[in-house]
Amino acid sequence: MDHRYIFYMAVGYLAGSMLFALEYPKIFKGVDVRRLSEDGNPGTYNAFVYGGIGCGILTLLSELAKGFLPVFLCGRQLGMDSLWFAGVMAAPVAGHAFSIFHRGKGGKAIAVSFGVLAGLFPVYRPFISLVIFYLLFSLVLPVRSHRKRSLITFACVGLSCFFTAEPPAVLTGVLLLSGIVVYKHCICTEEESREEKAAV
């Protein structure tokens, strides 16, 4: 094993653990999106809503970059053939979902997932699949619940990669990435259900 994969995994996880959607609104607006938002999610959408357009755009670019850069640079330097590359793909998503800087808590890892899949270029099919399925379940066959839409989308992205002849490491990485996002959304659903029952 080339230990440089471990380096990129560590960098990706640490970068993913930086929750820009939480920090930027605090810096520019003095607000905590976890307390203001209904879902308590330190995500890009809430950065737009409670931090404003400028804060939201900066958050979006930062979230995309922290997923894109480790994957893109590792792919260029070491290639995508080793299964360890799957860990590099999953690391930024895992960092965002379970941040080391926030006691294992984090966001739902949607924007960073887009960044990771964009970083696979010139392998483009997983990224295109994510875009298409999000548009499909947002516009053509709309799923009103954002949580359900994300769950269905990432489940479909994971399944679709079995039919696109991706390299084994990329396929494994997409499955890991999708699994983390689905698991994180399920955890959030359970936590919100417990809170609602406790409030009754």
Task: Specify whether the CB–CB gap between 114 and 93 falls below 8 A.
Answer: no
pLDDT < 70 stretches in the chain: 188-200
**Tens-digit pLDDT profile for residues 60-119:** 999 999 999 999 999 999 999 999 999 999 999 999 999 999 999 999 999 999 999 999
Q: pTM for the full model?
A: 0.91
Name the domain count of the chain: 1
Q: What angle do CA 193, 195, 200 make, to 5 degrees?
A: 95
> Where in the sequence is the domain holding 15, given as residue range(s)?
4-199
Peptide linkage before 92 cis (omega within 30 of 0): no
Rounded distance, CA 115 to CA 70, Å?
10
pLDDT, position 144: 86
Nearest Cα residue to 182 out of 66, 104, 93: 93
